[in-house]
Amino acid sequence: MDRCYCPFSPGQPPANVGSMVHDAQLILAVGALLAAGVAAASLASRLRLPGLVLFAGLGMLVGTDGLGWIGFDDYQLARLIGTVALVLILFEGGLAAGWHELRPVLRPALLLAVIATVLTAAIIGVAASGLFDFSLLEGLLLGATLAATDGAAVFALLRGVRLPLRLRRTLEGESGLNDPVAVLLVLVAIDLITKPHYGAGSAIVFLGRELGLGVAVGAVGGLLAARAAAHAHQLPNGLILVGSLGAAALAYGVAGALGGSGFLAVYLVGLGLGDAPLADREPTVAFHRGLAMVAEIGMFFALGLLVFPSQFGPIAVKAVLLAVITALVARPVAVTLATVRQGFAPSERVVLAWAGLRGAVPVILATFAVIEGVPRSIEMLNIVFFAVLLSAPLQGTTVHRLAARIRASEHGRRSRLHADGDHADPVASLTPRRI
């Protein structure tokens, strides 16, 4: 009988069994996280609750302050996870829309992304300085951190809420364009705090370079990606998906290497590719949407692990006040001023203000300050996270009601106009209609 070859002695495991078990446990944990993410997303959609709250809650549950299963305090890694996730989310948002959808609302979307973001940061910054005894620059840093709406949260919210088309496209455009603006504001504020000789001139040069190169790389990259897609109909579906993902990575990498805004470049490349005549558009968009959802799950979970809920106590009351000021004062005032003469009714401005959800982006931006050693940056991170946890479910669960009221009021307005028209021209109502 043939002898069975055994690479190790009976009863003695091979040297790499431990690493194999560790790999299996890691893959099991990832699978369990994805399954929990799907369940959380399903539950969130039923409750009309932003999924980010449940994902972040899951992270806090298994983190150090919870069950203690996972200890995580690596801010550099959290920033990397957040950056990769934002690249995937912004690219998917641009790809799903395309320039043909954004172009009609580009002006109000840009006004909201730039003017409203800056005004929101200023109002929150002044309020934070008074509430938490920060210096004005520290308060403005916190304001810039909280000023950005979250692309992942807004895109997910708009999938389940019926809004007028122009309103919906404006919110989508703003959420894709204001992330780079908020990132730049945060970086400028950090430099103003940590670099004594950093002045207004340096900030203006920095902002101009970031925005200019980001737009240039995004515009050129979008054109090249669209041309490549037009000649890619003979390629297998898998290579088309790889190519689209490569376009996003190249856009961010080239813009960043040149000193420009990678996030802005990624969104613009997604918009350019969104207009391309893709042979398999639906599978491509579905692939990137799924990838963006996985990125959201990982990002929110990691951020949940990063914070320590036991540290919320000293800042809880003031953080609630700051969240209220953000949602009821800063954002509405900024939206109202930024959309003057843009053709929005007062009720639509209310929705624009209320649907600007905060999510993972502010928390990721808060880690920038921690990494750069800004004074009281851990406190800022806790304030931002606590404010996000309050505002996201409150706004996310009530936007659909505002949208329903807008539809009802619009329907009533059209009915009154129709009735007034019939009353004003009785002859017209008697004129036979062609069938």
Whole-angstrom distance, CA of residue 297 vs CA of residue 85: 9
CATH number for 252: 1.20.1530.20
Residue 95 near residue 274 (C-beta atoms within 8 A): yes
Mean pLDDT score of the chain: 82
Model confidence pLDDT, tens digit, residues 79-107: 898 899 889 988 988 898 888 888 999 99
Q: Mapping DSSP to helix (H, G, I), strand (E, B) and coil, where does residue 384 land? A: helix
Residue 384 near residue 373 (C-beta atoms within 8 A): no
Residue 206's nearest CA partner among 181, 176, 178 is: 181
Asked whether residue 150 is assigned to any structural domain, the reply reads: yes
Asked whether residue 294 is assigned to any structural domain, the reply reads: yes
Q: What angle do CA 276, 355, 348 make, to 5 degrees?
A: 90
| CB proximity list for 111: less than 8 A, separation 6 or greater | 338, 339, 342
Q: Residue 112 carries which DSSP code?
A: I
Asked whether residue 404 is assigned to any structural domain, the reply reads: no
More confident residue, 411 or 289: 289
Chain center to CA of 423: 49
Secondary structure of 287-305 as H, E, C letters: HHHHHHHHHHHHHHHHHHH
Asked whether residue 19 is assigned to any structural domain, the reply reads: no
Whole-angstrom distance, CA of residue 68 vs CA of residue 434: 74
More confident residue, 68 or 147: 147
Residue 203 near residue 191 (C-beta atoms within 8 A): yes
11-22: b (≥16 Cβ within 10 Å) or e: eeeeeeeeeeee
pLDDT at residue 317 in the model: 92
Asked whether residue 422 is assigned to any structural domain, the reply reads: no
Model confidence pLDDT, tens digit, residues 203-255: 899 999 999 999 999 999 999 998 888 777 666 767 778 888 999 999 999 99
Whole-angstrom distance, CA of residue 177 vs CA of residue 326: 20
Whole-angstrom distance, CA of residue 194 vs CA of residue 135: 13
Domain count, the chain: 1
Asked whether residue 11 is assigned to any structural domain, the reply reads: no
Whole-angstrom distance, CA of residue 252 vs CA of residue 261: 8
pTM (two decimals) = 0.81
pLDDT at residue 45 in the model: 63
Asked whether residue 432 is assigned to any structural domain, the reply reads: no
Q: What angle do CA 65, 73, 81 make, to 5 degrees?
A: 115
What is the Rg, in whole angstroms, of the alpha carbon atoms belonging to the chain? Answer: 25
Give the residue numbers spanning the domain of 320. Answer: 68-397
Asked whether residue 411 is assigned to any structural domain, the reply reads: no
**Which tokens is 189 given?**
């504020």
Please give the backbone phi and psi of residue 323, each rounded to the nearest 5 degrees, phi first.
-65, -40
Ramachandran bin of 48, using left for φ above 0, alpha for ψ from -120 to 50, beta for the remaining angles: left
CB atoms < 10 A from the CB of 271, how many?
Answer: 29
- Residue 434: exposed, middle, or buried by beta-carbon count in 10 A (0-12, 13-18, 19+)? exposed
Residue 173's nearest CA partner among 184, 162, 181, 183 is: 181
Residue 272 near residue 225 (C-beta atoms within 8 A): yes
**Which tokens is 294 given?**
């996985």
More confident residue, 31 or 13: 31
Whole-angstrom distance, CA of residue 165 vs CA of residue 163: 6
Q: Residue 233 carries which DSSP code?
A: T
- Count the residues in the chain: 435
Model confidence pLDDT, tens digit, residues 140-195: 999 999 998 877 667 666 666 777 888 888 988 898 888 889 999 999 999 999 98
